Structure formats: structure tokens, C-alpha cells
Amino acid sequence: MQITVVGGGSWGTAFSCLLRDRGHRVTLACRDAHQVRAIEETGRNPRYLTTANLRGVDAAVIDDAPYDVDVIVLAVPSRAFADVAASLPGTAPVLSLTKGLDPATGQRLSTRVTGRPVAVLSGPNMAEELAEGLPSAAVIASEDRALADELQHAINSIVFRVYVNEDLVGVELCAAAKNVIALAAGGVDGLGLGDNAKASVITRGLVEMARLGEAFGAQPETFSGLAGMGDLIVTCFSGYGRNRRAGDLIARGHSADEAAAEIGQVVEGLTTAPVLRDLSHRAGVELPITEGVCSVLAGEDLQGLLGRLMGRRPTEE
């Protein structure tokens, strides 16, 4: 296949390598001409995932990349997704790797792709580990089953196992919400509350993710699958997890802006948290952990919030 990957961040970089290793002709489309030149000259991305060997992957600036291809992979931040999707020429199918919601409308990102088939890929996929050749697994979801099957066949390998999941809504909501729960889990780390408390927060986090999904017609099984629990776990425990790390820094007294600056890459949970909260209000679904994250991001004292939560009268699980 000929494939263009749009977005020269860590995941776009690692995914380009995976596709190249499966024998596809890959162009990595970046925003900066400087980044393109560096990749062409050194075979390395100069800013993100600098350890990955990009030899054999073409690089181009976004405006010059080929889009008359077999599939366009979008690996851009959620806040740029709608604009990038709207400006793509041609009718090639899109595979989205972006995990978040459209900030302007609160919609799932795949709804911003029009006039062409769309699929999404999600799972426990820390780019740094994939770049090291470590094994992982993911699901591809689409309303176009033939597209999902074709992409599964094109991408699956001995180190990157790809399953098909028909629940596009559930997979996208998992991908968006897990970053917000990871901010909370990172907060537990930052406060030094231990792994018992962290496991409890993650467990209740998945319950609230599934509750939101149910309101939008998602399948419960998706939330206990690779895109749900699998991705949530790795996002909350991996040393590479940006959202977990941001929560950790914020709990230690940094502002959200300081945490994002320290991490130096997009922290999707910070963008997604208020969008997800607004979505839950419109749907009439309670997301207590997401509400707590939004309160802390808006300036509420974290210790006070925790005391309030732990002091509630326990009931049935």
C-alpha cells in the first residue's frame, strides 16, 4: 500500500516505522520544513521519538505530501484534527490515531471526516515501546467493515497484533476519556497515595467511561477491551504516559501550563477534560472523576477534593 501519515509527533513517527516494516510505501507528513529536512538527512525525527529509525520512510511538509494514496493516517493533536481532516484533498480513506474529542463541537473526531471512509485505531500503544520493537496490540473500528478488514490485514504483524472491533463510538470515547482518568491517576501518584488508591481510581474511572459510552450507544465490551481497559492501564502506569505525568506534576503544585511545558508534547487530557465534562452534561451522565479533574484544573485544592470524596458514605459498589 501507499500510505501518508499526517503528524510528526511520537505516535505518527512510530506508526510510520511499523507500516514501513510491513512493506508499505510511507510518507510522514510534518508541519515544519525543518523537521522534514532533518528526517531526510538523518533518518531521525529531530523533535519527537528521536530514537526511532525512519530510514525508508519519506518525509514531506503537510501541503506537499501525496494524498492520492491507499490510506491517509491522521496522527495530529485533537485540536488540529477537524481542520486537517477538512483540508485533505481526494477521497482516500482515513485511519485516525488521534485520541480526543473535537474541542469546537465536542463531537467524536471521526465525525469530522466527511466524503470518505473512516476508521480509528486504538489500544495500549506507547510509541516509545513500539519504536524499541516491543510487542503490542490494538483494535481498528469502523462502520465500513471492509475497510477495517483491509487495514487489519495491512497493519497486523508479529509485533503489532490488530483486532477488529465494530464499535466505533466506544473506541473513540475510550480513547478520549482515558487521558482524563490518567490525569487523576497521576494525581494519586503525585500525592504519594499508593497503588491501592491508584487502582481504585482507575477502576472507578473505567466505570464512568463505560457509563458515558452506554449513553451514546457504545458496546460495554469495548470498555473492557484493548481500547478501553488496555489503553487506560498503560496510560496510567507507563513511565512514558504524558497524561499521568501531567497529573503527577499538577498534584505536586505545578499549574497545567507548567506541566505541559515541562512535558514538551501535547497532553491531550488537558484539552479533553472540559470537552468531555460538557459532553456528559448534555448527555445527563455523571462523571465524578472527570468533574474532579476539571475542578482541579480550574483551581480547586486537590487535598480538599480528596477529603470530600473519601468522606462520602459508601454504598453498594
- Tell me the catalytic residues: 178
- 266 scored as a contact of a second copy (CB under 8 A): no
Taking the complex as a whole, how short is the minimal distance between the CB of residue 225 and a second copy, in angstroms? 5
Instruction: Enumerate residues 175-194 that contact a second copy by CB under 8 A.
Output: 193-194
Q: Does 115 bind a second copy (CB under 8 A)?
A: no
Q: Residue 91 belongs to what H/E stretch?
A: none
From the list 82, 210, 266, 273, which residue makes contact with a second copy (rule: CB under 8 A)?
210
In the block, which residue shows the cell 476519556?
177
231 in contact with a second copy (CB under 8 A): yes
Which residue among 22, 66, 116, 129 contacts a second copy (CB under 8 A)? 129
Q: Which DSSP helix (H) or strand (E) runs through 49?
A: none
Applying CB under 8 A, the site for a second copy has a residue count of: 56
Interacting span for a second copy (CB under 8 A) from 68-76, 125-133, 175-183, 275-283: 125-133
Nearest residue to 205 via CA among 130, 273, 119, 283 = 273
Classify residue 313 as exposed, middle or buried by CB count within 10 Å of its CB (0-12, 13-18, 19+): exposed
32, 40, 195, 258: which one contacts a second copy (CB under 8 A)? 195
- Residues 6 or more apart whose CB falls under 8 angstroms from that of 82 comprise 102, 104, 105, 109, 112
Which of 224, 258, 264, 281 lies at the binding interface for a second copy (CB under 8 A)?
Answer: 224
Binding test (CB under 8 A) with a second copy, winner from 78, 125, 272, 280: 125
Using rule CB under 8 A, residue 200 touches a second copy: yes
The residue among 229 and 267 lying less far from a second copy, judged by its C-beta, is 229
When the beta carbons of 217 and 311 are compared against a second copy, the nearer one is 311
Helix H or strand E encompassing 20: helix 10-21
Nearest residue (CB) to a second copy, 238 versus 295: 238
Q: Which is nearer to a second copy, 33 or 310 (CB)?
A: 310
* Residues 174, 176, 180: CA angle, nearest 5 degrees: 100
Interatomic CA distance for residues 162 and 274, integer angstroms: 31
Best CA proximity match to 4, nearest among 56, 90, 65 = 65
Binding mask 157-176 for a second copy (x = CB under 8 A): -xx-xxxxxx----------
C-alpha to C-alpha distance for 253 and 4, rounded to whole angstroms: 41
Backbone angles phi, psi at 289, to 5 degrees: -70, -45
Q: How far is the CB of 78 from a second copy (least distance, A)?
A: 21
Query: Which one of residues 137, 215, 285, 305 is an interface residue with a second copy (CB under 8 A)?
Result: 137
First to last CA, the chain: 49
Please identify, among the stretches 72-80, 130-138, 254-262, 287-295, the one whose residues bind a second copy according to the rule CB under 8 A.
130-138
Among 39, 237, 245, 302, binds a second copy (CB under 8 A): 237
Q: In angstroms, what CA-CA distances link 137 with 129, 251, 258?
A: 12, 31, 33
Residue type, 164: V
Angle, helices 168-190/268-283, rounded to nearest 10 degrees: 120
Q: Judged by CB, which is closer to a second copy: 185, or 246?
A: 185
Q: Site residues (CB under 8 A) for a second copy?
A: 123-126, 129-130, 132, 134-137, 139, 152, 156, 158-159, 161-166, 193-200, 202-203, 206-207, 210, 220-221, 223-226, 229-231, 233-234, 237-240, 310-311, 314-317
